[in-house]
A and B are shown apart, each in its own frame.
Chain A
Amino acid sequence: MTKSIFSAGSTLTRRTALKGIAAGATLIASPYVLRAAEGGTIKLGAPFHRTGIGASYGRWYERVAQAAVKLINEGGGINGKQIEMIVEDDGTDPKRGTEVIEKFATEYKVDAIFGHLFSHVVAAAGSRAGELKVPYLVCSEGHQLASGALNRYTFQPGITDVKSQVSSMAPWVAKNLGKKVTMIFPDYAFGHDHRDYFSAAIKAQGGEISALIPIPPTESSFTRYFPQIPSETEVIYHVMVGPAVLTFVKELGDHFGSTRPQIFGFIDSLEAVDLATPQLDYLEGTYFWEAYPRYAQANQTAFDKFYREKVGVDQNGASTSDPKDISTYSHMFSVWETLFVIKQAMEMAKYQGPDQKKDFIVALESLEKFPESNEHPQGEKIFNGKTHQVFGKQNISKVENTKLTVVHTTSIEDGMYEPEVDYTKMDL
């Protein structure tokens, strides 16, 4: 006898069915009832990457957001209203990310959405946020916003974009490491930003690109790509987000041995990864971009001390409750700073509720400078209201004794470029 679960002949009576529906409806409705009863809050939607390939980042983005919201609420909230943060998991997936935006806008009716990171999710979700006319503040690094590909409702006030990052560092790379560069980058939007803007920036320094090696984002083995690195290469530039970075570094070590070119990488690959892992030995003496130094430096500011304490991160960039739980230090500050930008703009607009969304957008666009402070611990920043993009200082760090030591800090001006779009001319 074969019994299929599809033809299960269970006895579902009218009564049990009605009971079930009633219970389900109550369950769905209850959070809404609770929220309505509270009243008088600023509702912020937080679509974090709790699962999927961005989960290491998502976990820390959520922790930082909790810490910042707590701090703001303890200080009296925004315009006397407490912040209510509603977190939804987007699975690091563009489709799910877009659905979550719709849920925030139509069901929760939030005042703003913040915290999206992965560029392919931002690309999909950003357009939808614009259509739904809900303020959408990303913490993503992608250049797509400043290039004009998104809309008036999308902002990036917490972290510098890739184009600015790479053009500010190219002069240092050309001068100190070498002019013939082979780039290894992930084969999607974020990697293409690196490919296009770093190539242009190094050429402007009189350098050249020896080879471009795109890698599919889910790749797990890299030995097969290394023969494509030309022997005249002076610098290997690597940027790869994904769990396979340890394999990449180890196989690079196997392939080159002691006679390696200079290596310059983006810390993105090694966020949430302990540099003292044996597989990463080969990185000793190589260089990394860091937006915000993971290891507290000798000249640590009082603002950095304050921020580390509030988000629960020690001097090595690990969780204070578990030294093996490494933070995504070079990115997660953008969540912190974005929340304080939201606060600043809402206070300027005397924001009371969703009717004043337009005032909030205009206030955001009027911002120009953020001084280095507890609210902006990564450093001072310049905001461009036309491109909706912020600019800050970048750091180049060297791996020494499995720690990162800053060897060069760029100025903000090093990374400035001509605006490519003016969002303020678009309709609100």
Chain B
Amino acid sequence: MGLGPYLFLAILEGLVQASVLTVTAVGLSLVFGVMRVVNVAHGEFFMLGAVFAWFVSNLLPDHPALGFIAALIAAPALVGAMAYASDRLILKRLNYDPEATIVATIGLLYVFQQSALIFFGPDARAVEPPFYFKIRFPWFGYDGYKLFIILAAILLMLGIWFLVKKTRIGLLMRATQLDRETAQAFGINVDNVSAYVFALGAMLAAVAAVLVVPIQQAHYLMGLDPLLLSFIVVIIGGLGSIQGTVVAAILIGLSDGILSVFFSPTLAKMVSTLLVALVLVVRPHGLFGKAER
């Protein structure tokens, strides 16, 4: 295979990875931005999204497309409800104390992961894609569904941008992010905002998982990789900055895709980690983050 097609494949793969990563990481970034909570269980919400997607699509075995659409609605809704409950039952009671919530979300990570092992089992489970469409380039074949993932991620990000910047809900979120106490003084129920943001963040992870599960599989240990990559992306982009997260996700996704096609996946991981270290040294608040005042 010549260099041109090789690079083309690398960019395609990178974009698919960047899309999934963007959606997942924006969820993590929102939660940190608004609530100042470092959600270590974020990867498990991703895993739960995939597991629920498998469960829901199995209820409609003869209609993969219907099953997928049902999963796209039901899985994030279920995960969002679980996140909402976690916030109300645990995080709120810790008064969103930064250290305490880290420990609490580590606990949640294990609870979700081991529950998945008990109820879902140790096997990897496949979910049928909503459609089979193979694109045959002259040099190699490519799964059309992967291009759909890229499209879906773009639409989702536009939706989030609209929600945060143009709606009243977004205004409340931004007010809470800017200054929690002043927001409260203005009559905003910040506890409510926190609970919904936590649910929204988890739902984004779940949507990303539903999108990816037809090309990966649902497995109870699948949450670790997205968690690490999301943290990398959020740190590089600037904690709490959504634009920064999107830019960093595309950067990391593409560099990972290209480096791992041409060299080795291990090198790609090394470069990402090195970038984090570099950003922390040179711009501790990230590419787009604002320094603490």
Contact = CB atoms under 8 A, between A and B. Distances in A.
Interface of A: 1-6, 51-53, 55-56, 58-59, 216, 218-221, 223-224, 226-227, 231, 243-247, 250-251, 254-257, 272-273, 277-279
A246 B213 CA distance: 11
A278 B6 contact: no
A272 B10 CA distance: 32
Contact of A255 (B140, B219, B225, B265): B140
Contacts of B1: 227, 231
B215 A250 contact: yes
Nearest to B265: A216
B95 A1 contact: yes
A55 B117 contact: yes
Interface in B247-262: 257, 260-261
Nearest to A55: B122
Interface stretch (B75-83, B123-131, B283-291): B123-131
B143 A220 contact: no
Interface of B: 1, 6, 9-10, 13, 17, 94-95, 97, 99-100, 103-104, 114, 117, 121-124, 126, 128, 134, 136, 140-143, 215-217, 219, 221-222, 225, 257, 260-261, 265-266
Contact of A216 (B10, B114, B266): B266
A56 B122 CA distance: 5
Contacts of B128: 278-279
Contacts of B114: 51
Contacts of A216: 265-266
A4 B99 contact: yes
Contacts of B95: 1-3
Given A2-B95, A5-B103, A227-B1, A221 B17 contact: yes
A5 B98 CA distance: 11
Contact of B140 (A52, A59, A227, A244): A227
Contacts of B97: 2-5
A57 to B, nearest CB: 9
A256 B99 contact: no
24 contacts: A1-B95, A3-B94, A3-B95, A4-B97, A51-B122, A55-B117, A216-B265, A218-B225, A221-B17, A221-B216, A224-B260, A226-B140, A227-B9, A227-B261, A231-B1, A243-B217, A243-B221, A244-B124, A246-B126, A247-B217, A254-B143, A255-B141, A255-B142, A256-B141
Contacts of A226: 140
B215 to A, nearest CB: 6
A160 B181 CA distance: 68
Given A224-B257, A227-B261, A257-B134, A6 B123 contact: no
Contacts, number: 96
A194 B117 CA distance: 30
A224 B155 CA distance: 26
Among A219, A250, A254, the one with the most B-chain Cβ atoms within 10 Å of its Cβ is A254
B143 A257 contact: no
Contacts of A2: 95, 97
A244 B126 contact: no
A244 B216 contact: yes
Nearest to A245: B124
A87 to B, nearest CB: 15
Contacts of B136: 257
A223 B123 contact: no
A272 B114 CA distance: 20
Contact of B99 (A6, A220, A245): A6
Nearest to A54: B122
Given A5-B100, A5-B103, A243-B221, 14 more contacts: A2-B97, A4-B100, A59-B121, A220-B225, A221-B215, A224-B13, A227-B261, A243-B217, A247-B215, A254-B141, A255-B141, A257-B134, A278-B126, A278-B128
A5 B225 contact: no
Among B10, B13, B217, the one with the most A-chain Cβ atoms within 10 Å of its Cβ is B217
A254 B123 contact: no
A348 B144 CA distance: 63
Given A51-B117, A278-B126, A246 B217 contact: yes
Contacts of B117: 51, 55
Contact of B124 (A219, A246, A255, A256): A246
Contacts of A52: 221
Among B126, B216, B257, the one with the most A-chain Cβ atoms within 10 Å of its Cβ is B126
B216 A279 contact: no
Nearest to A259: B141
A52 B220 CA distance: 9
Contacts of A273: 123-124
Among A55, A216, A218, A223, the one with the most B-chain Cβ atoms within 10 Å of its Cβ is A223
A220 B123 contact: no
A224 B261 contact: yes
A247 B219 CA distance: 12
Given A3-B95, A3-B97, A224 B134 contact: no
Given A53-B221, A243-B217, A277 B126 contact: yes
Nearest to A230: B1
B261 A59 contact: no
Contacts of A277: 126
Contacts of B143: 250-251, 254
Contacts of A227: 1, 6, 9, 140, 261
Contacts of B257: 224
A271 to B, nearest CB: 10
Nearest to A243: B124
A245 B216 CA distance: 9
Contacts of A272: 123
Among A3, A224, A256, A273, the one with the most B-chain Cβ atoms within 10 Å of its Cβ is A224
A244 B99 CA distance: 35
